[in-house]
Chain A
Amino acid sequence: MYGLGLAKGLMVTMKNFIRPPFTVQYPEERLPQHPRFRGEEFVWYDERCTGCASCAKYCPLGIIKIVTSPSETAVLEGDKYDIEVFDIDIGRCMFCGLCVEACPYDALFMGSGFERSRYQRKDLVISVDELRQAVKRPSTWFRPQLENAQYDPQEGKPLAWEDVGREKWPWHKQEKAGAKINRTVHRGGAESSQDKK
């Protein structure tokens, strides 16, 4: 009969009317995010980075800018460059994660936030100071060691540089085992030589 299809449609809409809505009240509630979410704020560990710039070479857009200078101390196993500039331009980044995939030392991770908006484009460039001082909650994307440890960046426990690597490289293993390697870690101020345990 004419109109029965219409009546069925009305019943479906009424059923959905009675059900609770599907949306969440942002910003009071948030949708659950998986630990593998590729977010905006990058997590970078100065202690692990050697300045090899694989990430900058592998980035399809060329938005990572790295300027290094040779280190002052003698060439030791595990010595690396001083990193003066390490800028990531979020304004043009597409968060593909190829830089994270390229990093051989597990120094660069994706973040898991998405609320890093600014009013001016130049503020969208993440500078090296911001990367050093940020609270480090890395996303587990392309990092099987973090996944196996079942780390969840949403819980808010920041990770230190010793806990995030795949530990294939000898200097980190030696440092963790207690050997003291003199390395200059440029902390944005006077150069200081620190002992790392």
Chain B
Amino acid sequence: MPIRTEPVTINIGPQHPSTHGVLRLRVTFDGEVIVDVEPIFGYLHRGSEKLAEERNYVQVLTLTDRLDYVASMTNNQAYCLAVEKLMGVEVPERAQYLRVMTAELQRMASHLVAAGFLLQDLGALATPLMYCFRFREKILDLFEMLCGARITVSYMRPGGVFADAPEDFWPALDRLMGEAPELLGELEQLLMENEIVLVRTKNVGVLPLDMAIAYSISGPVLRASGLPWDWRKADPYDVYDRMQFDIPIGDRGDNYDRFRVRIEEVKQSMRIVSQCVEQMPPGPIRTKLPLVLRPPAGAEAYGRVEAPKGELGFYMVSDGSIAPYRCKIRSPSLINLTVLKELLVGWKLADMIVTLGSIDINMGEVDR
């Protein structure tokens, strides 16, 4: 006689110790096995796209900082690329190198946050998180030297960056690059071969490549499923075509691969930063543009970057006034979140938290 069980619907609510931000998941369980997942978001919606229509182009930059608040340099970079395409201006070379360098430093910081919180969700109290944050603190100290703020940086402006690096920035950067391999090696040693991490993350939440492409996934999630697609190589912007770096690719697209791809990307970012420091030419850092920009009416532009979480794009339409007519943000976290149900059905509650952490979403971006 078969046992009749009753599925239970639980709200893993907006306030929870481990959903990354205010995300609500309505999950239906049969025992401990997940039967259905419905993500409900919008708890952090601040109306960025509408607010952007009422501010001029430099004020919108301060709004873009706060989209993916963990990785604000790349948000700035995407926006500035879009506006520069609208206006049709060229960015000086030193500014491009500075942009690439800070974007890669920001990528390192963002991946460290992702890795740290993934390990915390796995249950390793806060120890790997503290180690990751110790490394990230040093990167944020560098950002403070550059632009006075650690997280919401507003470093770039349409036409370049707003200021050059101070004198004491370069020795501090060299010091960090010297210490970085050891810090990263410690993290790897702590967790890469740990049997418990392997057993929890291998073959869990597998994302096949055709499903990833069908769902428009981008970023490390796509690369972990096997496709070597990176906008820095496919459509290089700024000076990425002069940088030599590799793209880490995973085999299977499970949680472990996504985790591992991010750690390898940190190493590649360190390479890019060293090359930027060597190759940086002297020169101006900002094209002379008026304080209030007025792009030609009817112009449209799409500026995209390879943000740490995926492809971040800004589609700007201008009507000739000082504020954009439409600013549409293609946020990677929102698109990557749509595949959550496919990854989770059939797995257990413990896997849900880990898989959500491995997709690495940021609610500031999902909700805008």
Number of chain A residues close to chain B: CB under 8 A: 34
Chosen A-B contacts, 15 in total, with CB atoms closer than 8 Å, are A2-B195, A3-B195, A4-B193, A6-B196, A8-B189, A11-B189, A16-B131, A34-B144, A60-B59, A60-B63, A95-B149, A96-B152, A98-B58, A141-B148, A142-B163
A5 and B130 CA atoms in complex are apart in Å by 20
In the complex, A177 has a CB within 8 A of chain B: no
Q: Are B195's CB and A97's CB within 8 A?
A: no
Q: Are A36's CB and B147's CB within 8 A?
A: yes
In the complex, A105 has a CB within 8 A of chain B: no
Residues in B with CB closer than 8 Å to A139 are 148
Give the A-B pair count, Cβ closer than 8 A.
80
Q: Are B62's CB and A94's CB within 8 A?
A: yes
Q: Are A34's CB and B194's CB within 8 A?
A: no
Residue on B with the closest CB to A150?
Answer: B167
Q: Are A9's CB and B191's CB within 8 A?
A: yes
Contact for B145 among A3, A36, A95, A144, CB less than 8 A:
A36
B145, chain A: closest CB distance, angstroms: 5
Q: Are A102's CB and B166's CB within 8 A?
A: no
In the complex, B186 has a CB within 8 A of chain A: yes
A22 and B127 CA atoms in complex are apart in Å by 13
Residue on A with the closest CB to B154?
Answer: A96
A147 and B62 CA atoms in complex are apart in Å by 24
A23, chain B: closest CB distance, angstroms: 9
A60 and B291 CA atoms in complex are apart in Å by 14
- A-side residues, CB < 8 A to B, are 2-6, 8-9, 11-13, 15-16, 22, 33-38, 58, 60, 94-98, 101-102, 110, 139, 141-142, 144, 147
A144 and B165 CA atoms in complex are apart in Å by 11
Please provide the chain B residues from 140 to 160 with a CB less than 8 Å away from any CB of chain A in the complex: 141, 144-149, 152, 154
Interface size class of chain B, counting residues whose CB lies under 8 Å from the partner chain: 20 to 34
Residue on B with the closest CB to A22?
Answer: B134
Q: Are A5's CB and B193's CB within 8 A?
A: yes
A125 and B186 CA atoms in complex are apart in Å by 47
For B63, B145, B148, B154, the residue with the greatest tally of chain A CB atoms inside 10 Å of its CB is: B148
Q: Are A97's CB and B154's CB within 8 A?
A: yes
Contact for A33 among B144, B147, B163, CB less than 8 A:
B144
Residues in B with CB closer than 8 Å to A22 are 130, 134, 137
A72 and B147 CA atoms in complex are apart in Å by 41
In the complex, B55 has a CB within 8 A of chain A: yes
A37 and B145 CA atoms in complex are apart in Å by 7
In the complex, B231 has a CB within 8 A of chain A: no
For A2, A16, A22, A96, the residue with the greatest tally of chain B CB atoms inside 10 Å of its CB is: A96
A194 and B273 CA atoms in complex are apart in Å by 55
Given A5-B195, A9-B194, residue A96 in contact with residue B186 (CB < 8 A)? no
Residues in B with CB closer than 8 Å to A38 are 147-149
In the complex, B245 has a CB within 8 A of chain A: no
Residues in B with CB closer than 8 Å to A94 are 62, 152
A145, chain B: closest CB distance, angstroms: 13
Q: Are A98's CB and B62's CB within 8 A?
A: yes
In the complex, B162 has a CB within 8 A of chain A: yes
Residue on B with the closest CB to A35?
Answer: B166
A35 and B167 CA atoms in complex are apart in Å by 12
Residues in A with CB closer than 8 Å to B168 are 34
In the complex, B40 has a CB within 8 A of chain A: no
Known: A94-B62, A139-B148. 18 other contacts (CB 8 A): A2-B195, A5-B193, A5-B194, A5-B198, A6-B196, A8-B190, A9-B189, A9-B191, A9-B194, A34-B168, A37-B144, A37-B148, A94-B152, A95-B149, A96-B154, A98-B62, A141-B147, A142-B163
